[in-house]
A and B are shown apart, each in its own frame.
Chain A
Amino acid sequence: MSKKVVDVNGKRLVLSNLEKDLYPSAGFTKAHVLEYYSRISRFILPHLKDRALTLKRFPEGVEKEFFFEKRCPSYRPSWVKTADTFFGEKERMTVCLVNDLDTLIWVANLASLELHVPLARVKFRETPDSMVFDLDPGDEADIVGCARVALILRDLLSSLKLACYVKTSGKKGLHVFVPLNLKEAIFEDTKKFSKAVAEVMQRNYPDLVTAKMSKEQRRGRVFINWSQNDSSKTMICVYSLRARAEPIVSFPLTWNEVESLESEGDPKKFEITHSEAVGRAEKVGDLFGDMILKEQKLPYL
């Protein structure tokens, strides 16, 4: 196994197998993955901060087996920040907090291509910082349909004076987020609220939307997965790579962009690659910045 010792912010890090092709069909190696995460770090770190990281590791690359790791590996360097929380209902576990560049690089070096985090910070696990609508296309539906649903959802939420933000999942769907940041609503509230929204959407657009998980219901429709609003669930972090043939990123879009992509109708155009992600973020800044700052209250609860 090849190793390389580097110095990140004065901390010694042993990087391994840098030449390994983690995205073989794209020729994207571990060195490229590390380079991506270090270049995107100033955009992704605020969204990972103080959240229990779930690692999704692909030690042999995206075409081979992967595994999830919720516990922070015991062989972690001493400077990796951790927190104690619950695994399920009873068991305690220690999780990694990716609060700095060093930890981000260490985690990426474990071939954790995908970084998944909960909607709540680890110290306030009952009060989510945001409410999410995970738009997931069923068979015979696609991301263009998700965009159509997202736009209706945006109008509906804005009539309730709620601002919302959208990102690609990096796979087939879109994620619409409503920042809350008041540590007031609990998951029970966001779940109740998002479920009511999903059901009203389904009633009004029965050919386009379903609020039900069953495969049959989803055929040809977009499933609004409201059940992600739960303390035990995680979402792919904005700016995280996804494990696909190409290194595609979960990336924030402006609503204008969603409108034009929807009218163009080409699912391929929703795919933001690693290089496009870095270029765009550096040019326009963090379109998800308000997810951390904006305080909003859910009405009618």
Chain B
Amino acid sequence: MPGQSIWSGTISFILVAIPVQLVKATEPGKVSFRMLHNRDFSPLLRKMFCPEENVIVPPEEIVRGYEIGPDKYAIVTEEELESVSPERSRTIEIVQFINVEDVDPIYYDNPYYLVPSKGGEKAFRLLVEVMRRTGKAGLARLVLSEREYLVVIRSVNDVLLLVTLHYSDEILPYEDILPKATDSNSNEESRIKKIIKAMSAEFNPDKYANEHRKKVAALLEKKAKEKAQVEAPEVPEEEEEGVVDLVAALEESMRKAKENR
């Protein structure tokens, strides 16, 4: 079962608009750890520290500076950044259809699945089918967490695969790191060709596993069984963004309103 939808909106081109959701297509194979205090095993928080005054700086005293020279900064406010960030958009607008082979894999960034939302199933299936038959991929723009991405969308089985692309100015040149050209040796060249031919096989990703992750997982399983667990003292949970913020704001307003009643 893939993860929760991280975005919902519509995918559209010319006359079609289909309600869809965006779901992560990969999960990094990394085991994450919490940092604990070794005395009471409380989970630790990162704080911003001012070495000049030797104090922890609260969030409201933190501003963003862009380094323009040694010890010289241009201060940029949230509002200024917001004024140049793309407008929140609920539409993935396909601007062009392309051949997927034309996209150099170096441009690929993060893959997501596009699945239909309520009411969009039929039109979605048709789009998937037509894109599969024509073998074309859609090129579109998507605004995700205040950034505009160029994305490529293609049909894979029953879903659409959406991959965010790097912009061309993000691709680093290789010319500088290339050694000087030397004469090629035709004997050597044919020998390498033979080896490549001998080693050729179909790509089968299931054959390769993340060995390091497996070992870490085995270690953790063993640790969990041993009596190596520790318990953190109970602390009130950190509030998360979204609904929790809304509920907190509502409760606060309610409290104030009751006082005034």
Contact = CB atoms under 8 A, between A and B. Distances in A.
Among the interface residues A152, A159, A199, A201, which one has the most CB atoms of the partner chain B within 10 A?
Answer: A159
Interface string A58-75: 000000000000000000
A159 B122 contact: no
Interface residues of B, number: 24
A156 B257 contact: yes
A196 interface: yes
A156 B245 contact: no
Contacts of A299: 246, 249
A231 B250 contact: no
B119 interface: yes
A200 B249 CA distance: 10
A196 B249 CA distance: 11
Nearest to A192: B243
A186 B8 contact: yes
23 contacts: A89-B118, A90-B121, A126-B10, A126-B19, A126-B117, A127-B90, A156-B254, A156-B257, A160-B249, A160-B253, A184-B88, A186-B8, A186-B9, A192-B243, A193-B246, A196-B246, A196-B247, A196-B250, A204-B251, A204-B258, A231-B118, A231-B119, A300-B243
A158 to B, nearest CB: 9
B194 interface: no
Given A196-B247, A204-B254, A300-B246, 20 more contacts: A90-B122, A126-B9, A126-B10, A126-B19, A126-B117, A127-B90, A159-B253, A159-B257, A160-B250, A160-B253, A193-B246, A196-B243, A197-B250, A200-B247, A204-B251, A231-B118, A231-B119, A299-B246, A301-B242, A301-B246
B215 interface: no
B121 A89 contact: yes
A270 B243 CA distance: 35
Contacts of B19: 126
Contacts of A200: 247, 250-251, 254
Interface of A: 86, 89-90, 125-127, 152, 155-156, 159-160, 184, 186, 188, 192-193, 196-197, 199-201, 203-204, 231, 299-301
B133 interface: no
A224 B257 CA distance: 19
Contacts of A160: 249-250, 253
A152 B253 CA distance: 11
Interface of B: 8-10, 19, 88, 90, 117-119, 121-122, 242-243, 245-247, 249-251, 253-254, 256-258
Contacts of B251: 200, 203-204
Contacts of A159: 253, 256-257
A129 to B, nearest CB: 15
Contacts of B9: 126, 186
A127 B118 CA distance: 13
Contacts of A90: 121-122
A250 to B, nearest CB: 27
A271 to B, nearest CB: 28
Among the interface residues A184, A186, A300, which one has the most CB atoms of the partner chain B within 10 A?
Answer: A300
Contacts of A188: 8
A201 B250 CA distance: 9
A114 to B, nearest CB: 25
Among the interface residues B246, B249, B251, B258, which one has the most CB atoms of the partner chain A within 10 A?
Answer: B246
Contacts of B117: 126
A13 B43 CA distance: 75
B247 A125 contact: no
Contact of A89 (B119, B246, B258): B119
Given A126-B10, A188-B8, A231-B118, A300 B257 contact: no
B187 to A, nearest CB: 66
A300 B245 contact: yes
Among the interface residues B119, B122, B245, which one has the most CB atoms of the partner chain A within 10 A?
Answer: B119
